């Protein structure tokens, strides 16, 4: 087994004139707080036939990545590295709300109406930037392939929330996400080579008032580990189940009060100090976990099994009636008969639209993808396997718990990387939509996206378990 870590800066040189994604801001980018990066880890194992078996994980400090752009990145990587297939490459966005807009929906600053205008007429105006940062990714992959180090692998997860995150829709739940690490040490001296971090929290420590480029708290996680290890340990961050998990910056922890007025959570006015404090806390605990894994728990050989499932999600609504029905139905109708209908016509030949849509009369579908990567250690004393699963959007906590419980590799050995290989929706349960409605359905392709992802993920789990018998 071998591994390598690397990164490349992907901050646009002309950031001051670019619209920023994530909020309906009144102005484009007006400065920079810290650079945004592409991070990569390349893991090489052997399959049962002793053939080289490779996994490439990429994490980008961007809001989201549509499937069309994701496929373009994979295509460009494959042109330079023909042995890498699409299912061996996982592309993730940390979801910082302080990154450049890629899809055109935030092209016109000035509020919600201009975001709607951007969805319908925005087009992608970022080809120059996209081509450049994808070339940076390709260069990074070249570095990764040339710097592989013989290694051992181990992993660990623990509950972690020192009052830094809150479920914004169910504050009194007092959620405690998993902090997970997948760690690599040197075969020769057992020194720490690098590790993967997986934690669940929206990168919105910087509020909607911020107009400066930043990787938000995931960037500070990397920064702190770089400081503590004198830049000798590689690290990469993947956001977990964060659809309804927000940072705690200025809302406080009076959960009963926040249950009555959730706007106090949504409208927090966090500062760069909050970004740094939360990032550093996560970093210090993650580094401690990576260093504390017993050497006997490390494995020296592995093989990957890749499961990639593409499908189409219809733009449909649930049949129900509740106190949120009128608002939900209004939003749904606007999307189906105005926003997406007009956008499809206008963006027919756009390079990287927000959604890959097919339309037949009044039926509209969006293409998306889920993935499960099973990492087996068949030549070790342990019979355990690791599972890494991806979802194309922002997964609500209830679904995250369900997927971990049902995972073919077990809850303690499974990791969720959301916002990977596509972004199609907030992925919320029907109950959340029907009983509460709220902002998340407005921002999503379809109210039934969560239902479809649940169904397809559980079907995939069943397929994997049947193949393992």
Q: Where are the beta strands (DSSP E) in 27-141?
A: 37-46, 52-60, 89-93, 99-100
What pLDDT is attached to residue 344?
60
pLDDT(229) > 90: yes
| Higher-pLDDT residue of 126, 89 | 89
pLDDT(345) > 80: no
Q: Which pLDDT band, with edges at 50, 70 and 90, does 78 fall under? A: very high
CA nearest to 432, candidates 459, 414, 454: 454
What pLDDT is attached to residue 336?
80
Q: Cα separation of 256 and 167, whole Å?
A: 13
pLDDT(201) > 80: yes
Q: Which pLDDT band, with edges at 50, 70 and 90, does 17 fall under? A: confident
Q: Which pLDDT band, with edges at 50, 70 and 90, does 316 fall under? A: very high
Contact 36, 16 (CB under 8 A): no
For 163-209, give the secondary structure using H, E and C. CCEEECCCHHHCCCCEEEEEEEEECCCCCEEEEEEEECCCCCCCCCC
Mean pLDDT of all residues in 45-54: 73
Q: Which pLDDT band, with edges at 50, 70 and 90, does 26 fall under? A: confident
| Higher-pLDDT residue of 362, 74 | 74
Could you give the C-alpha distances from 67 to 103, 361, 452, in angstroms and in order? 11, 23, 17
Contact 93, 39 (CB under 8 A): no
Least confident span in 221-225, 244-248, 325-329: 325-329
| Higher-pLDDT residue of 150, 111 | 150
Q: Cα separation of 447 and 426, whole Å?
A: 9
Question: What six digits make up the tokens of 190?
Answer: 């057992």
pLDDT(358) > 90: no
What pLDDT is attached to residue 141?
98
Contact 97, 204 (CB under 8 A): yes
| Higher-pLDDT residue of 348, 13 | 13
Mean pLDDT of all residues in 49-56: 80
Task: Give the tens place of pLDDT for each residue, 320-335.
Answer: 999 999 999 988 888 8
Largest CA-CA distance found in the chain, in angstroms, rounded: 64
Least confident span in 55-69, 96-110, 304-318: 96-110
What angle (nearest 5°) sits at the alpha carbon of residue 58, between those of residues 272 and 289?
Answer: 65
pLDDT(123) > 70: no
| Higher-pLDDT residue of 124, 281 | 281
Task: Give the tens place of pLDDT for each residue, 428-458.
Answer: 999 999 999 988 988 888 999 999 999 999 9
Mean pLDDT of all residues in 266-283: 97
Percent of all residues in the chain with a pLDDT value above 90, rounded to a whole number: 78
Least confident span in 310-319, 356-365, 404-413: 356-365
Kindly report the average pLDDT of the chain as a whole number: 92
pLDDT(61) > 80: yes
Q: Cα separation of 272 and 364, whole Å?
A: 41
Q: Collapse the DSSP code of 220 into the 3-class scheme (helix H, G, I; strand E, B; otherwise coil) and give the result.
A: helix
Mean pLDDT of all residues in 396-417: 97
Least confident span in 107-111, 240-244, 250-254, 419-423: 107-111
Q: Which pLDDT band, with edges at 50, 70 and 90, does 383 fall under? A: low
Q: Which pLDDT band, with edges at 50, 70 and 90, does 314 fall under? A: very high
């Amino acid at each position: 087994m071998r591994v390598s870590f690397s990164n490349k800066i992907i901050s646009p040189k002309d950031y001051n004139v670019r619209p920023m994604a994530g909020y309906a801001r009144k102005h484009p980018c007006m400065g920079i707080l810290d650079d945004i990066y592409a991070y990569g880890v390349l893991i090489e194992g052997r399959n049962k036939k002793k053939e080289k078996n490779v996994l490439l994980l990429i994490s980008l400090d961007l809001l989201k990545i549509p499937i069309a752009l994701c496929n373009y990145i994979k295509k460009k990587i494959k042109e330079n590295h023909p042995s890498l297939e699409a299912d061996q490459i996982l592309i993730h966005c940390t979801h910082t709300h302080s990154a450049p807009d890629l899809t055109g929906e935030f092209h016109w600053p000035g509020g919600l109406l201009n975001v709607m205008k951007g969805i319908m007429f925005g087009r992608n105006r970022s080809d120059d930037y996209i081509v450049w940062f994808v070339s940076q990714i390709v260069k990074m992959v070249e570095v990764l392939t040339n710097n592989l180090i013989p290694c051992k692998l181990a992993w660990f997860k623990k509950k972690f929330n020192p009052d830094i995150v809150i479920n914004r829709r169910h504050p009194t739940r007092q959620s405690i996400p998993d902090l997970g690490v997948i760690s690599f040490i040197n075969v020769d001296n057992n020194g720490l080579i690098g590790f993967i971090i997986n934690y669940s929290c929206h990168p919105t420590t910087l509020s909607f008032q911020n107009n400066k480029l930043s990787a938000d708290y995931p960037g500070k996680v990397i920064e702190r580990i770089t400081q503590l290890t004198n830049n000798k340990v590689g690290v990469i961050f993947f956001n977990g189940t964060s659809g309804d998990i927000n940072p705690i910056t200025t809302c406080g922890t009076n959960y009963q009060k926040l249950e009555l007025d959730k706007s106090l959570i949504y409208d927090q006015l966090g500062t760069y100090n909050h970004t740094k404090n939360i990032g550093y806390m996560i970093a210090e605990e993650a580094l401690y976990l990576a260093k504390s894994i017993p050497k006997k728990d490390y494995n020296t050989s592995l093989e990957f099994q890749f499961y990639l499932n593409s499908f189409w999600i219809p733009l449909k609504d649930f049949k129900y009636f509740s106190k949120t029905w009128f608002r939900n139905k209004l939003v749904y109708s606007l999307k189906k008969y105005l926003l997406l209908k007009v956008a499809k016509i206008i963006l027919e030949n756009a390079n990287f639209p927000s959604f890959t849509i097919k339309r037949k009369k009044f039926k509209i579908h969006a293409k998306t993808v889920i993935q499960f990567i099973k990492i087996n250690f068949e030549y070790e004393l342990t019979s355990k396997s690791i599972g890494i699963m991806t979802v194309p959007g922002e997964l609500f906590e209830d679904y995250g718990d369900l997927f971990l419980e049902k995972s073919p590799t077990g809850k303690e050995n499974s990791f969720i990387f959301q916002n990977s290989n596509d972004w199609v929706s907030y992925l919320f349960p029907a109950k959340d939509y029907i009983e509460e409605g709220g902002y998340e359905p407005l921002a999503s392709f379809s109210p039934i996206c969560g239902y479809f992802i649940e169904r397809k993920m559980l079907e995939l789990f069943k397929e994997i378990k049947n193949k393992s018998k």
